[in-house]
Amino acid sequence: MPKKRGIVAGVDLGGTSIKAIVADRNYKILATGKKRTDAGVKAKALIHEIARVVEQAAADAGVKVKSLAAVSIGAPGAIDVKRGVVTEAPNLGWRNVPLGEGLRSRLGVPVVVDNDVNVGVMGEHALGAGARVAQLVGIFVGTGIGGGIICNGELYEGGHGWAGELGHTVLLADGPVCSCGRRGCAEALASRTAMERDVRDAVKSGRKSAVFDIMDERKKDRMTSSIIQVALAKEDPVMKEVMKRAQYYLGILVANVVNAFDPERVIVGGGIAERLGEDFVKPIRETAQEYFLHAKAVKGVKILPGKLGDDAGALGAVVLARKRLGL
């Protein structure tokens, strides 16, 4: 059954949801599945949930789980890629969880594990805005800021599997405190979390903003990408200002990456990029170009929003499995 052996399930494991895609050899999506997860659920239970989402998606695709060529998963944290172990995932509260082995023993097929942003970048590289160029950097802006590097056409894992943590490059020494406990990281300046902090601080200090009314209306307790989109559509002055500042820092981050790594393309992905597209990326590009060392980089390096949206991670996981297992 050579045809079925080419079918792979890709999973994007986020802090709040599991997304699975079952795709054939040509990356045609046969079925998808999604499930919200509870914060604080134990690792064993969450692995069980992941297995169930994969089983359901496989059933929807008319494929037996056992006949999948692989299940491939991107998880939010530091991964021991060879052993398939999530060594540290603060968002999940995980430490040294053998995710690969847990899924393999439940599903009976080969399992591949990597970092969620790495697989998202692989997805954009192979199937999205990355156009399979040899040198590419992806920057995903969401609750945090993650990054991934494609070097000579392959995912670059680094010396210990930790490469690509572009959200924790310091852009403003001694700047605001970051989730990692240090100061002035890109994530502390330009993530959705940083933007929400800045909006709250502005309102606390007396500025007027509709952001919290919009959040109340939509019953959100966090400033999600959709809230940002609505607030910008209403021309909320605080939201516009906070977004502009975040884009400025993201532009500097992109320039740092370009000056250090000289990629052919930089893909800006994640929830905000998915919703705002070019409106989000254009000011980032403009600042980045001002900070390029080599004038020719303005023409030579394309800075683009991601194309795959929410599918980048799960599709990228499928790409990863094909590469890693030679499928």
- Interacting residue ranges for a second copy, rule: CB under 8 A: 78, 88, 133-135, 147, 149, 151-152, 156-166, 168-173, 175, 180, 182, 248-249, 252, 255-257, 259-264, 290-291, 293-294, 296-297, 300-301
Write the single-letter amino acid at 313. Answer: G
Shortest spacing between CB 119 and a second copy, in angstroms = 17
Shortest spacing between CB 7 and a second copy, in angstroms = 31
Shortest spacing between CB 25 and a second copy, in angstroms = 29
Which one, 204 or 296, has the nearer CB to a second copy? 296
8 A C-beta contact, residue 189 and residue 196: no
Q: CB within 8 A of 250, min separation 6: which ones?
A: 139, 141, 186, 190, 268, 284, 287
Shortest spacing between CB 21 and a second copy, in angstroms = 28
For residue 163, the Cα-to-chain-centroid distance in whole angstroms is: 14
| 3-state SS class at 76 | coil
**What is the phi-psi region of residue 19: left when phi exceeds 0, alpha when psi lies from -120 to 50, beta otherwise?**
beta
Shortest spacing between CB 245 and a second copy, in angstroms = 10
Q: What DSSP state is assigned to residue 176? A: S
Which one, 54 or 266, has the nearer CB to a second copy? 266
Name residue 150's beta-bridge partners: 136, 155
Shortest spacing between CB 135 and a second copy, in angstroms = 4
Long-range (24+ apart) CB contacts under 8 A made by 289-293 are 289/255, 290/251, 290/255, 291/251, 291/252, 291/255, 291/256, 291/259, 292/255, 292/258, 292/259, 293/259
Shortest spacing between CB 288 and a second copy, in angstroms = 11
Which one, 69 or 178, has the nearer CB to a second copy? 178
Which one, 32 or 287, has the nearer CB to a second copy? 287
Which one, 45 or 260, has the nearer CB to a second copy? 260
Question: Is the Cα torsion angle 295, 296, 298, 301 positive or negative in sign?
Answer: negative
Which one, 94 or 249, has the nearer CB to a second copy? 249
Which one, 218 or 244, has the nearer CB to a second copy? 244
314: number of CA atoms within 13 Å, CB side?
Answer: 29
